[in-house]
Structure 1
Amino acid sequence: MTTGIEDRPITADLCRGLAELERTERGWLPHRLPARARAQSTDPQLAAAEAQPSGVRLAFRTRATVVELELLRTRTVLAGVPERPDGTVDLTIGGRLVAQSGTSGGDVVRVDTTTGQAEFERGAPATVRFDGLSGRDEELEIWLPFHERTEIVALRTDAPVTPLPVGRRRVWLHHGSSISQGSNAASPSTTWPAVAAALGGVEVTNLGLAGSAMLDPFTARTMRDTPADAISVKIGINLVNADVMRARAFGPAVHGFLDTIRDGHPDAPLLVVGPLYCPIHEDTPGPGAFDPSALGRGAVRFVATGDPAAASRGSLTLSVIRDQLGDLVAARMAEDPNLHYLDGHDLYGPNDSADHPLPDALHPDAATHLLIGERFAQVAFAPGGPLAGP
């Protein structure tokens, strides 16, 4: 250990963008859903996603020239599916990205996709280090990886740290799918919600849950109980690619989800966002699946396996959802002046697919995350926008 560096206590007031900080056997685990919500689902996909700390960061003032963060990551490896790149930890100072470090080591969960059986391999924590900092009194934020379960084992600096005060900026609470969580983004501070928050001058609490934006009541209750000045909900893609719902259930489920949010935030600006353009699911229901021919080439790509004709029998497609969601929100807006709707095509639409194709047919790439974040900020946070401050 470098001379002068000392351990600093890991406390909840050092963290932003999480629901709870759980003490584990080996460190501190940030959760984006509270324990009561986690107890109401046995889905391993959701359990993995909510413990992947998208948008979670340590935020403090310090005069440190060296910051070390010891992390224990858990990676999930699916048999026959190419592994994701190592996670990235971002350091921002005064809101500006100044340094990045890759993750390493940690535990591995290997899943046999044919049987569902999993094997656990225990690993060791690893340290990311940021040095050469100015030593001036500055605001630092350390953004944790968005697609790796991450336990914080230790924080070490060569100067004291002071948590940033709560309430210095408006809080934007967002819920969506893996695209909102950050799939295929370059790093945690460059997911589209992080980009939009930086441009909009707000603090993001990201409830983007990969594969798990299902209109779950416990997620709505979490949003109801989470302090927020502005709220958005992106609805659609997971309902289609998981094939969990029919048109008859969709409308009432959306109403119930929005009603629950309104129970805790009756007057907050609330923006409902329709699904982004996704050619495989525009007119074809789910379920979605890995494209076996792409896997044979060592690539990840998704396909829709449903029957397009089933949409006339109540199966959901993105086109069906856009039509129903737009009408539903328009009807509610008559009694809710702080409710707004944004067509997902305004963030990423058919005209974007030539210049910004979805590399796996489902998720935007890193450059497109930046584009979507910029567009969202221009629409939502610009003066007069639905989520703009007073």
Structure 2
Amino acid sequence: MNAQHDPVPASSTTPRATDWTTTPLTAAGLLRGALDLERTAHGVLPHRLPARARAQCADGQLARVEAQPSGVRLAFRTRATAVELDTLPTKIVYQGAPPRPDGVYDLLVDGQLAGQATVTGGNVLTVDLAAGSEESRPGPVGTVRFAGLPDRVKDVEIWLPYNEITQLVTLRTDAPVEPVPDAGRRVWLHHGSSLSHGSDAASPTTTWPALAARLGGVELINLGLGGSALLDPFTARALRDTPADLISVKIGINLVNTDLMRLRAFGPAVHGFLDTVREGHPTAPLLVASPVLCPIHEDTPGPSAPDFTNLREGRLQFRAAGDPAERATGKLTLGVIRDELERIVQQRAADDPNLHYLDGRDLYGDADLAELPLPDQIHPDAATHRRMGERFAAVAFGTGGPFAGTP
């Protein structure tokens, strides 16, 4: 474990065992951003899809990404100057590639970043992309520790790594904790692909949805599901059944990545997805966003295929494996999807004034590509996440935007 914080005297950073307060991780109001908690042999595992949804799809990719706690955080009020959180992470290693960095935990004190840490060890899931196989290896529980916190009543948040399945085992503090009182902030529920999940953001509070939520002054529930924004009915029902004031869905790139459907199926599937969301949120502002710029799939259909040329140097890239001529048979490209989404939203908005459309290229477009190219041809880097978050906040939460307003 490696934590960063302001140095303090040893007596302040190493409380006696009798000084610790242990708080159940199932305590009401302590965990935010998760839709379900599964009890495990070690503790609890936050899920971003409810059990009913998980039971309707046996896809291993979905199982991994929905259990990676993007946007999930512990939030509590306390005088504690030291906090310890025992977790059992599951880290993903790609066969033939160097190990990826450990996932980052962000500590916020009264809304400001006050420390970062990682947990070494844990379970390891090795994925062989070429063979399409996986192998699991169990590992030990680790501890993330933050010390030297200000000795006053304060609101503390620990944002979990967006890219590691994280079982929560024990929370210890050197003073009691209580839930943070409701501040009346609106809840923003967002669904999207790996770009919304976090892709290559620097840390959990710097994914573009987390950045946009902070700038917009809202509480985030992030259902960004890497590789799995596929218009699944069970995801639509999860959105329908989750209390929220503001909703956005970012649709497109994964449908091309997986070559999942043709244009004939796409339009009705979008209508059905939005119909389901509206059953639970008939008047909430609902923003439909199309894909950001991705040159390999702008005019070339999927599927996306891994390019292993530079894998041993740690650079996995992607290429478009489709043929542009296949658009004539209904294969989807990002250009086709944007046109269809804009048409659908325009049609539905005649009867749904709270439905809005956002062209994803307003978040990342041609000019941005020249300055901030996509490292693997699909996913944005940390700097691009920041730009996208700032732009989404300005477009959606700014004056005249679909999410403008106060609690």
TM interval, shorter chain, is over 0.9
The residue type equivalent to 2:247 in the other structure is: I
The equivalent residue for 1:180 is: 196
Pairing 1:156–2:172 present: yes
Between the aligned partners of 2:370 and 2:130, the Cα distance in structure 1 is 35
Query: Deviation digits for residues 303-346 of structure 1, max 9, x if unmatched?
Result: 11111111121100000001111111011111100000000010
Q: Does 1:247 align with 2:260?
A: no
User: Contact 1:181/1:191 (CA < 8 Å) preserved in 2?
Assistant: yes
- How far the C-alpha of 1:299 sits from its partner, in A, is 1.4
Cross-structure match for 1:33: 49
Corresponding residue number in structure 2 for 1:237: 253
Q: Deviations over 1:182-229 (max 9, x none)?
A: 010000000000000000000000000000000000000000000000
302, 319, 330: which one aligns with 1:286: 302
Task: Specify every segment of 5 or more residues in structure 1 that has no aligned partner in the other structure, as ranges.
Answer: none
* Contact kept in structure 1, 2:98 and 2:312, CA below 8 Å: no
Partner amino acid, structure 2, of 1:6: T
Which one of 87, 91, 100 corresponds to residue 71 of structure 1? Answer: 87
- Return the alpha-carbon distance in structure 2 between the equivalents of residues 80 and 167 of structure 1: 48
- From 22, 30, 41, the equivalent of 1:7 is 22
Residue in structure 2 matched with residue 226 of structure 1 by the alignment: 242
Q: Distance in 2 between matches of 1:2 and 1:72?
A: 23
Q: Deviations over 1:79-125 (max 9, x none)?
A: 12443221000011121111100121100122333443432211101
For 1:1-390, list aligned pairs within 5 A: 2-3=15-16, 4-11=19-26, 12-166=28-182, 168-295=184-311, 297-390=313-406
Partners of 1:178 and 1:117 lie apart in 2 by 21
Q: 2:347, 2:263 → 1: CA distance? A: 17
- Post-superposition offset of 1:297: 4.3
Q: Give, as a single letter, the amino acid of the residue that structure 1 aligns with 2:174.
A: D
Q: Does the 8 Å contact 1:82/1:300 carry over to 2?
A: no
**Post-superposition shift, 1:268?**
0.2
Tell me the amino acid that sits aligned with residue 162 of structure 1. Answer: E
1:253, distance to aligned residue in structure 2 (A): 0.4
Aligned length in residues = 390
Q: Which amino acid aligns with 2:166?
A: T
2:155 alignment partner AA: E
Residue type of the alignment partner of 2:400: G
| CA shift for structure 1 position 168 | 2.7
Q: 1:322 to 1:370 in 2, by over 3 A?
A: same
Which amino acid letter does the alignment assign opposite residue 126 of structure 1?
A: G
Q: CA deviation at 1:77?
A: 1.8
Q: Is the 8 A contact 2:97 2:313 kept in 1?
A: no
Letter of the 1:147 counterpart? N
C-alpha root-mean-square deviation of aligned residues, in Å?
1.2
Quote how far apart the aligned CAs of 1:163 are: 1.1
Q: Distance in 2 between matches of 1:288 and 1:115?
A: 16
In 1, Cα distance between equivalents of 2:306 and 2:343: 33
Q: State, as a whole percentage, how many aligned pairs show the same letter.
A: 64
Matched to 2:306, the amino acid is F
Q: Cα gap change, 1:143/1:18 in structure 2, threshold over 3 Å: closer, same or farther?
A: same
Taking structure 2 as the reference length, the TM-score comes to 0.94
SS of corresponding position for 1:186: coil
The structure-2 alpha-carbon separation of the partners of 1:87 and 1:297, relative to structure 1 and needing over 3 Å to count, comes to closer
Shift of 1:144: 0.1
Distance in structure 2 (CA, Å) of the matches to 1:112 and 1:363: 20
1:269 Cα deviation after fit = 0.3
1:69 to 1:215, Cα distance in 2 relative to 1, 3 A: same
